[in-house]
């Protein structure tokens, strides 16, 4: 399966609750987190039935159990890094072909950065992250039924440059579960090719690894 990261072309709206029951100011973001049945800027289409099924699973297993976390920025893999978490998704609901979300900004180091950005009037976006296979048809890449969400929303600012990097470096990698641990197969294979290369073939192997890396950009 490949890492799939999608930016939604809408800025999420910040919502500030002046005080909760504990007298603490709370911050939320809300808006469309994911979209189905349209060809997005990455040339991919998420069939509604596939997205709906996976969102329902994600809500049941993560949102309803208060463990649907997201990070600030574009992580380079499919796992959630707790030391980089900035928010917790508290709602994700179907609205036509959109899936509308709401996330609470947490009191983590990255969460505090998000709060300060909101205070200063920054426009923030969200980017979903998951694993899945793709099928080329009708001039687009269709996400297949093995799609799994890692998070419905990472918080991002300018999606263009970071997303190009994530797609080129990490989305070209095949991810598999091995002993319940996600491994980047292509990266490991490249490293293994270099480790096992004979000395008189090392430069040739290095060149082949570089060519393979460039093809994924």
127 among known catalytic residues:
yes
DSSP notation for 134-168: EEEETTEEEE-TT-EEEEEEEEES--HHHHHHHHH
Is the separation of the CB atoms in 106 and 85 below 8 Å? yes
Q: Of the listed 5, 86, 127, 128, which one is catalytic?
A: 127
Which residues are CB-neighbours of 48 under 8 A, at least 6 positions away? 36, 37, 97
Asked if residues 170 and 77 have their Cβ atoms less than 8 Å apart, the reply is yes
Q: What's the CA gap between 115 and 122, in Å, rounded?
A: 10
- Cα 111 to its chain centre, rounded Å, is 17
DSSP SS3 for 184: strand
Helix (H, G, I), strand (E, B) or coil at 66: coil
What DSSP state is assigned to residue 41? Answer: T
Which of 5, 74, 86, 128 does the annotation list as catalytic?
74
Alpha helices in the chain (DSSP H): 48-61, 109-119, 160-169, 185-196, 202-215
User: Three-state SS for 190?
Assistant: helix
Kindly list the catalytic residues.
74, 127
């Amino acid at each position: 399966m490949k890492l799939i990261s999608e930016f939604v072309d809408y800025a999420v709206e910040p919502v500030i609750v002046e005080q909760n029951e504990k007298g603490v100011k709370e911050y939320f973001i809300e808006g469309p987190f994911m979209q189905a049945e349209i060809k997005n800027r990455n040339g991919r289409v998420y069939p509604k039935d596939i997205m709906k099924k996976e969102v329902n699973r994600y809500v049941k297993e993560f949102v309803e159990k208060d463990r649907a976390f997201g990070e600030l920025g574009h992580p380079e893999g499919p796992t959630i890094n707790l030391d980089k978490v900035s928010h917790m998704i508290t709602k994700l609901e179907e609205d036509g072909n959109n899936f509308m979300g709401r996330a609470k900004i947490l009191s983590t180091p990255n969460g505090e950065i998000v709060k300060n950005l909101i205070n200063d009037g920054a426009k923030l976006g969200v980017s979903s992250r998951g694993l899945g296979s793709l099928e080329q048809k009708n001039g687009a890449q269709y996400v297949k039924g093995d799609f799994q969400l890692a998070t419905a929303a990472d918080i991002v600012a300018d999606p263009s440059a970071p997303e190009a990097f994530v797609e080129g470096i990490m989305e070209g990698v095949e991810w598999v579960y091995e002993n319940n641990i996600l491994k980047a197969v292509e990266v490991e294979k490249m490293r293994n090719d270099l480790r096992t290369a004979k000395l008189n073939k090392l430069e040739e192997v290095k060149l082949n690894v570089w060519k393979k890396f460039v093809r994924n950009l």
